[in-house]
Amino acid sequence: MDYLPVCLRLQDAPMLLVGGGTVGTRKARLLLRSGARLTVVAPAITAELEQLLAEHSGQWRRAAYTGGDLDGQTLVVAATPDAAVNAGVHRDAVARGLPVNVVDTPALCSFIFPAVIDRNPLLIAVSSSGTSPVLARLVRRKVEAMLPAAYGRLAAFAGRWRERVKTALPNDTARRLFWEQAVEGAIGEQVLAGREAEAEQRMRERLRDGAAGHRGEVYLVGAGPGDPDLMTFKALRLLQSADVVLYDRLVAPAIVDMARRDAERIYVGKARSDHAVPQQAINEQLLTLAQAGKRVVRLKGGDPFIFGRGGEEIALLAQHGIPFQVVPGITAASGAACYAGIPLTHRDHAQSVRFVAGYLKGDRVEHDWRQFTSTTETLVFYMGLMGLPVICRELQAVGRAPDTPVALVERGTTEDQRVLVGTLASIEGIVAREQPRAPTLIIVGDVVRLHRELAWFGEGKKGSEPF
């Protein structure tokens, strides 16, 4: 290890920056954000640096550097284009025992600036030990993308409770377990979700009741239409924190595999006329697991509140006072249509879109079909494969033209995606020949005509038929 990562408290500390160009301005931003009292020595500085110094009560000495500029300073940065000046700053600082950084010259640095991920008071520094700042910034961006902005709020929350927890739990092991459960569990999720008042109440209960006060929580998570890359960061974070994961057949196996390795996995899949677990039993299972203190993720294909019966599953939890969160997901209509190259709305073809339940109820697809006559509205039928003959017949019966374009997107956004394209008059024959399997989405409307020119996904054109 070439450098020891440390965090310096620089509030109101006097610091010197030699050089006022673009590079010096970047360093000044960082130093001023840390609360330093900054003095800049340079014959000229950028307009931005001059503005920063004015905003933060910094000083600019319009002159060339001399050794006396180091008097009273605690830290110095050299950022001039003159190598001789930079070397002189380094020599003078070392002689006085001052930490010094010469920008882009690691050999003359007693400290370096890492790439910083700022979730104040939580800070993460990424450093290449001065060898590749670009690589350090790349790693920072990757880590930053995975780290919710609200983690700073969680760190501040923990800081406010630190002494109270230490007093209530003097034993180091007990205190560590408490914090692990709090930060990774329901309390932490409440803070991240902006529900700090609830988190405060939960902390008081936990400290008062100890382990007996631990309650579980349920996270109703939209897993998207199939491609694991379409899951949100929040969905992934909750999935990887869960003790138990309930999933059904609409959730891709690759997504289930992203759960914590030691999490319990429970299949509650349902298919047409074959409910592996009745809906009421699923609702009660979520309640029972949460009451046992488990963190439970209920994975739902697509979005939980769009034909996902998510409202039914959380209703029982709400009645019993179980904390829950609902995490939206990319709904099948959006994901499958995008991967198939079919825009659901388009200025020249459709000005609105309607999501419609296409499944059979009592061997009937029950709708007021007169609502679906507009040629400038895209219709998307969920779970409509078995009801396709009824859909095609009824739409034509209320006036939709037989040559109205129709697309079936089978297993949308996955490697097995297939798109079958026809018309209201021809699509039944195409389906009889191609035998697509669920889950399949049906898109009706002129936007389907754009499929051939806009489809990009590898399997997007497989099985397509002319209009």
Any binding-site annotation on 258?
A: no
Residue in this structure with the two tokens 């939206």, named with its chain if needed: 328
Residue 303, marked binder = yes
Tell me if 331 is assigned to a ligand binding site.
yes
CB neighbours (10 Å) of residue 149? 10
- Residue 429 among known ligand-binding residues: no
Ligand-binding annotation for 375, yes or no, is no
Q: Is 412 a known ligand-binding residue?
A: yes
Q: What is the C-alpha separation between 80 and 92, in angstroms, rounded?
A: 15
Active-site position among 270, 446, 461, 462: 270
Alpha-carbon separation of residue 47 from 54, 133, 425 (angstroms) = 11, 25, 68
The verdict on whether residue 383 carries a ligand-binding annotation is: yes
Tokens encoding 210: 């100890």
- Residues 6 or more apart whose CB falls under 8 angstroms from that of 151 comprise 119, 122, 192
43 is annotated as contributing to ligand binding: yes
294 is catalytic: no
Query: Does 406 count as an annotated binding residue?
Result: no
Annotated ligand binding at 23? The verdict is: yes
10-43 b/e with 16+ CB inside 10 Å = b?
beebebbbbbbbebbbebbeebbeeebbbbbbbe
**Dihedral angle sign, alpha carbons of residues 335, 338, 340, 343:** positive
| 232 annotated to a ligand binding site | no
Respond yes or no: is residue 270 known to be catalytic. yes
Task: Answer for the pair 321, 401: CB distance below 8 angstroms, yes or no.
Answer: no
Tell me if 22 is assigned to a ligand binding site: yes
301 is in an annotated binding site: yes
Q: Which two tokens mark 98?
A: 């001052």
Catalytic residue among 69, 92, 227, 248: 248
CA 416, 422, 426, 431: dihedral to nearest 10 degrees? 0
Residues with a catalytic annotation lie at 248, 270
Query: Which parts are annotated binding residues for S-adenosyl-L-methionine?
Result: 225, 301-303, 306, 331-332, 383, 412
Residue positions in the annotated binding site?
22-23, 43-44, 225, 301-303, 306, 331-332, 383, 412
Could you list the residues known to form a binding site for NAD(+), using ranges. Answer: 22-23, 43-44
